[in-house]
Amino acid sequence: MVEFHIQTDGEIPASTQLFSQICFAIASRQFAPGYRLPSTRQLAMQTGLHRNTISKVYERLATAGFVEAHMGSGIYVRALGQENTQPANATPVPIQEAIEQSLDGFLQQGYSLSQVRDLFLRAMDERLRASTQLLVTVPRHDLGAGEIIVQELQSALSLPVQLVFLEDLAETLVQRSAATLVTVRYFTSQAENLLKELQQADRSASRAFRIIAIDIYNYQRELALIRSLPAGARVGLVSLSSGTLGVAEVMVHSVRGEDLYVMTAQSQDAPRLRALIKQSQTIICDRASCTPVKAAIAKMADDLIRVPQVVCCDSYIDPHSIDILKRELGLETVEI
């Protein structure tokens, strides 16, 4: 079970700390799709927060599209279309057996084999159409997250990838008949709502759109480093993404409270980056920011009393999400 750390005497509200930590646990797949969240009673015992506060956090998570309530059962991480909600250690069903089971299920529901074949071929055709254009979408305010995703996908897939802001997505999709939309789980609900509005506005159009939610890297190595730093240490956090910096700052605060002096900077903000380098003993940055950070340090070397330690994160996208995308786009074959 993920351990949540809440600092009740800091500047960041306790509810914000808990919300950010649960979002991070879901987005980094520590809470996998279908996972049942702890009850408000359990979480109150672990965090010391009032159950009403936890209930409000759960309501906020549901509104954001992260979780869904099952009446009489609990709160579960919402599964998206392409996700498998079986436990990671579950024995996979052989594909032939899975097909037979699916066919049996359709036949029992009253469908004919001819109907199932036609529907299956139509679904396959729509997915293949969608795979011809790959769009990354994020809110305009978090341009950096989109740039990181585009860089990593182009490197991993060797395909052209286009960045489209969520605010411009409807206008972009109206001009297309098919596309695969890739976004971080944080923004999936917004993308889904835009697609629904587009489909309702023009039901006659033949469009094939797919949304693939990518999971982020879990940053366990970096969090372990944060926990090991001595009290009073000066830590710099650098990323292309303003959203990532916001969540990272909350996570560090939740783990260490006011015990560390934390500074943040986007790698393209040269003045702020220079100030961070001068004051930090340890700098943690995403892979996209690693080269700019090291270049800035080299340029400032003569003015630094002590060169800070730079820790570059392995990636932004979890490798499991890359594997899903490869299969979705027909770039990876699996032995049957």
Q: What is the block-wise mean pLDDT of the chain (336 residues), using blocks of 10 residues? A: 78 89 90 91 91 94 90 87 55 77 87 88 79 90 93 91 94 87 90 86 76 90 94 96 91 88 95 96 95 95 92 92 86 59
**CB distance 18 to 4 below 8 Å:** yes
Q: What is the pLDDT of residue 332?
A: 64
Q: What is the pLDDT of residues 267-288, one digit of tens each?
A: 999 999 999 999 999 999 999 9
Token pair, residue 210, equals 């797919």
Q: What is the pLDDT of residues 45-99, one digit of tens each?
A: 988 999 999 999 999 999 988 999 888 889 999 987 656 555 555 566 677 888 8
CA–CA distances in Å: residue 275 to residues 259, 293, 296: 21, 12, 11
**3-state class (DSSP) for residue 317:** strand
Q: What is the pLDDT of residue 270?
A: 95
| DSSP classification of residue 49 | -
Q: What is the pLDDT of residue 1?
A: 58
Could you count the other beta carbons within 10 Å of the beta carbon of residue 138? 28
Q: What is the pLDDT of residue 127?
A: 76
CA–CA distances in Å: residue 209 to residues 134, 191, 193, 212, 333: 10, 11, 13, 10, 22
Q: What is the pLDDT of residue 104?
A: 86
Q: Which residues partner with 137 through β-bridges?
A: 164
pTM to 2 decimal places: 0.81
Q: What is the pLDDT of residue 239?
A: 95
| DSSP classification of residue 259 | G
